[in-house]
Every structure is written in structure tokens, then in C-alpha cells.
Amino acid sequence: MTEHPPSLATPYRTHTCGQLRAGDIGAEVRLSGWVHRRRDHGQLIFLDLRDRHGITQVVVDGTDSPAAHDVASRVRSEFVVSVSGTVTARLAGTENARLSTGAIELQTTALEILNEARTPPFYINDPDAPVDESLRLKYRYLDIRREPMQQRLLLRSRLVQAIRQAHHENGFVEIETPTLIKSTPEGARDFIVPSRLQPGSVYALPQSPQQLKQILMVGGVDRYFQIARCYRDEDLRGDRQPEFTQLDLEMSFVDEATVMDFVERMAIEVSQAVTPERPLLEVPFPRFTYGEVMERFGSDKPDLRFGMELVDLAPEIPTPDGVPASGFRVFDDALAGGGRVKAIVAPGLGDAPRSRIDELTETAKRFGARGLAHLALEATGSVKGPIVKFLGDDLAERLCARAGAGPGDLVLIVADGTEVTNEVLGRLRTDLGARLGLADPNVLAYCWVHRFPMYKWDVEGGRWDATHNPFSGVVPEDEALLTTVSGDPSRPSPEDPAGRARALQYDLALNGWELGGGSIRIWRRDLLELSFALQGYSLERMRNMFGAMLEAFEYGAPPHGGIALGIDRWAALLTNQATIREVMAFPKTQSGTDLMLEAPSPPDAGQYADLGLRVVPVEERKA
Ligand code: ASP
């Protein structure tokens, strides 16, 4: 995977450790790097010399070069050395096909130790050696010397390069927005930076460049992008970090399809440039409405690499006189109450033991279900399970057939309100998909989800909350729905038609992860004021929060929209990693600590004084 520029020669080397081939035999060269491995055979000492580009075998012969041999006998793993010598063919039978330089070796004439090294706390030369993650983070520079981290950081660099190229080819301007700004909320807490020159005031680090990129559209930039660092102070999970990197972009005079089409073409180009060996499941990317994706997959970021879709069982359940009568109370009550009875099929789990079913039921309960019913289809085709006695054989068989189960499969059924049913089955689907290894790890399955609800009712606040950002536009056909039962937008209620309005918002998902999302923004002032009022904000209040942007909107804002995609997530998915820490050079731990730098740490006393700050001890704060 080394792409070798024509020359990386420096005063310390004529070639890199990954460069020499049979064609170089006879050449006098100089290499520098780390000692990957040392094998002492008395008169002959072998050094595997390593740099980022590869490994070259170095032979030090005590008879020919006693001085070099003397140095080689003092060399240890991870010493930094420089070797001069002649490129020679390896003896027949000792070539190493796994090394790009495996046809040759270097006969040493001179060897110099450039720097010694302490014994590393873990093996650098064994990529598979299990190493505790906190040790890797504390000695990240040693971890980065190891092959797997090198490969991932290289891939990430190529990813960003491909992204930049695709944007430049499509008329985008790369602009850096500042990171000492005013609060730009994206649903998390701000990190704040106290100002020394204006004691008592703070900057906020951007949760995203959202306001600034919209202002750039008012500035006539037309198409902006940035590889942007964002900061969100929230509790960390596996795929979160307090600071992370987004591909952030915004476009003017566009509609939803223009943005989605560009992003899709860019994502295809980038994927093919970075991981040409990984097939794309479906092109063009499937586009689901939020309603459809929840109904079919129970998730707004479905993993499409396997089926196991949610199936509605209700059509098989008889309803004499309009009353559901499956014979099983839980199903009938759910349907009578306007809820759902839906199922997924776990392939090959038909003969799962009781303990496995109990475990699945526990998982479903953790996901919010009251219970989990099941029907097992035996190899003979007969249906078994505790609820068969209520349903009767005939209905039980028809439910299995409707679910799409075959002999040996297990049908898992949830009966509850629509939201709970979809959510629980969706999470079970994800869980089982991973456990049963149903997804092909090589495939890249991108899909779009759009037409999200514009608002979600906030019970406590008694108002409509924007599901994405407060500036997301409304689907044109739904504009008329932005009304309230009371007739006054500042007196909203959960029955308002506004609750049915759909946003011009789109998310891009990849292999079950949300890669990112964006929207066409509200750029018309009347709509903006109406939407703010529904969200319980006066224009005054919004002005306090988003003053600069709202003022800019008064000077001619073009129709515009954009998106942001997580670069860390993208790189993690392209390298099949379970956490974004694996594709970040210097990530933080779950508690937000940099174990290598030992950050955060208390400031110097003087720094507090400069800022006019004083720390209140936790006990005092509680009091
Ligand atoms: N600012 C949004 C985010 O960070 C993305 C966007 O709407 O463009 O999620």
C-alpha cells in the first residue's frame, strides 16, 4: 500500500526501507530507520530495519566490517540507526515474498546508532499482540509505529485527500472558520474558553460551524467545505469523542436533491479511491423516508447488508366484528389499542435452547419491550412455542409464513405501540445481525434517510422541538401544516398539525452507523419566525442566541443547504473498526483524558489570576 513518491532521499538516506528491489542489486545505498528485529548469529548479525515505508533486511558480517559488527552487537530493538552498504541478492531460498524488499538484502559497510531506545512497554514488531488500550494511549507514539495504526492513519489521510479533491472538482471553496466563537448548539454542552482581555466573558468552541457556514452563503461563497474540528461536551460513548472532525459543507441555490446527489457522487468517488477493493452494495444509494425505514428496519440508520426486515403480522390476525381475535391476549390488546404486532426472523435459531430465548427476551426488555413472544419452526416444518396453545396450529403456521420463516428459523414477535415495537425489533435486528455475523464485513452499504418529522413534542417545555437544527426547512407540501390548533403559533399543543410536518432533512447512513446529516435551511424570514414561535422562541430570544446569523439573513440570504459527515466515523467504517479511537492519532479516553499528555490538568495559579477566575472546590459548590 506504500505509494512511493519518486524520491524521499535525505542526507540520512538514499532510499526508504520499503524501496529497494532486485533492480537495485549492486547499488551503494544508505538507509535509516528503527531496528524492528535483531538476530545474532555470531559473526553474522541480521537487522530488520523499519520505517513507515517498509522493512529491509540488513546483514552485518564481522569478517568484512568488524567496526559495524561491533556497533550491531550493541544495537537493540527500536534503536534508531543508519546503515550504508551494498544491495545484494538474497541467497536462493531465503527470499521473503511477504516483504516488498524481500528479494534483496543490504551488506553493511558502515553502521551508526543515531539514537538509543528504552525497551518499549509492548511489542512494536508484532501487529497481533494484544495490548491494553490505556497502555497504547499512554505510549501512543509507539502504538503509531505499529503496522495497524500506520495503515489506518494512512487510509484516513487518503480519505481526506479524496474528499478535498472531489470538492475542488465541483466548485467548492475550502474555508477555515474560527474555533473561538460564540455558542453554536447542536444539542450538546459547549466547551468554553475564558477570555483574558475581557474578564468574565467566554468564547465557545464550535459544536459545528453551522452558523458560520450559513453566513458564508449570505457572503456569496456559493459552495463551501471544510475539514472542521468540532467540540461537544457530552458523556462519551464508543463512537464519541469530545473533539472530532467533520466534513462540513454548504451550497447555495440548491434543493434537497442537489445536495443529496452531490454528496452521493462524492461518497462513491471517495470510497472507490480509498477502498477500491470494497464493493458498494447498491448504487444509487437507496433513499428511504423516515416513516418507511422505521417501519421496515426499526432504525433510522439501518444496516442493509442483511435482510431480517420487520414484518407486520396484523393482516393474518382475524378480526371478527372488527375485534382482534388471535386467541393470545397480548397480541389482541396491542392491536385493539391501536398498536402493532410485528416480527423478525432469526435464521437458524429454531432449535435455540430455552436459555437463549430467555436471553433474547431480556435483551428485548432492556430495549424497552414488555415482553418477547416467539414461534420456532422446526426442521420438520411444525411450529412450536408457548403461545401456540393460544393461537392454534393454523394461525401459528400462518404467522410464521407471513414473517417469511423457513424450517429451522425462529420468529421473534413484539406487540406494543408502534414506536416501541419498531424500536425494540430494530435493536434486536442489529444485535442479532452482529451476533450471527449476518453482515458481510467487506461490503459498504450506504443509504439515505429523509423526510424526518420537523418537530418532536417537548412535554416538559410545552413546545415543539426541532428534531435536527432549528433552521431546517419544511417540505414544501407541508408548509401549510405549520399551524397550531389555537391559531397562535406561540401557543402550541401536541395536537397541532405542525407535529405532522416533515423536514427537508437528510441523513446518510453506512453499515448501520449514522455517517452524518444535513438539511435545506429556512432562508425566508416569515417561515423562520413561524418556526421559532412553534419552538417556543421569540424572535428576540433567537436573536440573542443566533444574532449574527439572523442579522445576516436580513441582507439577502440565498436558498441554501448542506450537510456534515463524520470523518472519524467514515475512517472507522472504511477500516472496519468498532471505535473511532482506532482512526484518531491521539484520542481521549471515556472520561475525556489524554493519557499521554495528561490533559486536562489544573492551570498554573497565575493563569487563573490572569483570567479573573477562582476554582470553587466541589464540596463548597454542593453547599
Ligand atoms: N451542523 C449539522 C451537524 O453538525 C450538520 C448540518 O446540518 O449541516 O450535525
pLDDT tens, 271-308? 999 999 999 999 999 999 999 999 999 999 999 999 99
In this prediction, residues 91-110 reach a mean pLDDT of 96
Type of residue at 225? F
Is 239 in contact with 572 (CB distance < 8 Å)? yes
User: In which band, very low, low, confident or very high, does the pLDDT at 350 lie, cut at 50, 70 and 90?
Assistant: very high
Q: What is the pLDDT of residue 235?
A: 81
Separation between Cα atoms, residue 457 and residue 211, nearest integer Å: 25
Q: What tens digit of pLDDT does each residue of 201-249 get?
A: 999 999 999 999 999 999 999 999 999 999 999 886 667 899 999 999 9
Residue 186 CA to ligand 1 center (angstroms) comes to: 8
CB of 211 shorter than 6 A to ligand 1: no
Question: 181, 183, 186, 240: which to mutate for ligand 1, most atoms within 8 A of CB?
Answer: 186
Q: What angle, 0 to 180 degrees and rounded to 10, lies between the N-to-C axes of helices 418-435 and 354-366? A: 130
Question: 469, 506, 514, 515: which to mutate for ligand 1, most atoms within 8 A of CB?
Answer: 469
In this prediction, residues 429-437 reach a mean pLDDT of 96
CB of 186 shorter than 6 A to ligand 1: yes
Sheet containing 287-289: which strands, arranged edge to edge? 173-174, 223-231, 243-252, 560-566, 513-520, 505-510, 446-450, 287-289
Q: What is the pLDDT of residue 505?
A: 97
Q: What is the pLDDT of residue 532?
A: 86
Among the residue ranges 512-521, 543-552, 591-600, the one predicted with the least confidence is 543-552
Q: What tens digit of pLDDT does each residue of 529-550 get?
A: 888 888 888 778 888 888 888 8
Which of ligand 1's atoms lies nearest the C-alpha of 562?
A: 8
Region of 605 (left: φ > 0; alpha: ψ -120 to 50; beta: rest) is alpha
Residue 561 pLDDT > 90: yes
Q: What tens digit of pLDDT does each residue of 374-427 get?
A: 999 998 889 999 999 999 999 999 999 999 999 999 999 999 999 999 999 999
Residue 434 pLDDT > 60: yes
Is 307 in contact with 432 (CB distance < 8 Å)? no
In this prediction, residues 500-528 reach a mean pLDDT of 94
Q: What is the pLDDT of residue 3?
A: 54
Q: What is the pLDDT of residue 575?
A: 98
CB of 517 shorter than 6 A to ligand 1: yes
Instruction: List, in order, residues 6 or more apart from 36 with CB less than 8 Å away.
Output: 47, 48, 49, 50, 55, 77, 124, 125
Question: 216, 232, 248: which to mutate for ligand 1, most atoms within 8 A of CB?
Answer: 248
CB of 470 shorter than 6 A to ligand 1: no
Q: Which three cell numbers stand for residue 505?
A: 432533512
Residue 1 pLDDT > 50: no
Average pLDDT, the chain: 94
Share of the chain above pLDDT 90, in %: 83
Region of 471 (left: φ > 0; alpha: ψ -120 to 50; beta: rest) is alpha
Q: What is the pLDDT of residue 29?
A: 98
Residue 191 CA to ligand 1 center (angstroms) comes to: 18
Residue 5 pLDDT > 60: yes
Q: What is the pLDDT of residue 186?
A: 80
Share of the chain above pLDDT 70, in %: 98
Q: What is the pLDDT of residue 114?
A: 98
> Which residue has its alpha carbon closest to ligand 1 atom 4?
208
Q: What is the pLDDT of residue 576?
A: 97
Q: What is the pLDDT of residue 153?
A: 98
User: In which band, very low, low, confident or very high, does the pLDDT at 612 lie, cut at 50, 70 and 90?
Assistant: confident
User: In which band, very low, low, confident or very high, does the pLDDT at 457 lie, cut at 50, 70 and 90?
Assistant: very high
Q: What tens digit of pLDDT does each residue of 28-73 get?
A: 999 999 999 999 999 999 999 999 999 999 999 999 999 999 999 9
Residue 333 pLDDT > 80: yes
> Which residue has its alpha carbon closest to ligand 1 atom 1?
210
Distances 76 to 37, 46, 72, 83, 246 between C-alpha atoms, Å: 8, 12, 8, 15, 42
CB of 518 shorter than 6 A to ligand 1: yes
Q: Which three cell numbers stand for residue 430?
A: 442489529
Q: What is the pLDDT of residue 264?
A: 98
Q: What is the pLDDT of residue 2?
A: 46
Q: What is the pLDDT of residue 159?
A: 98
Q: What is the pLDDT of residue 237?
A: 64
CB of 206 shorter than 6 A to ligand 1: no
Q: What tens digit of pLDDT does each residue of 118-133 get?
A: 999 999 998 888 999 9
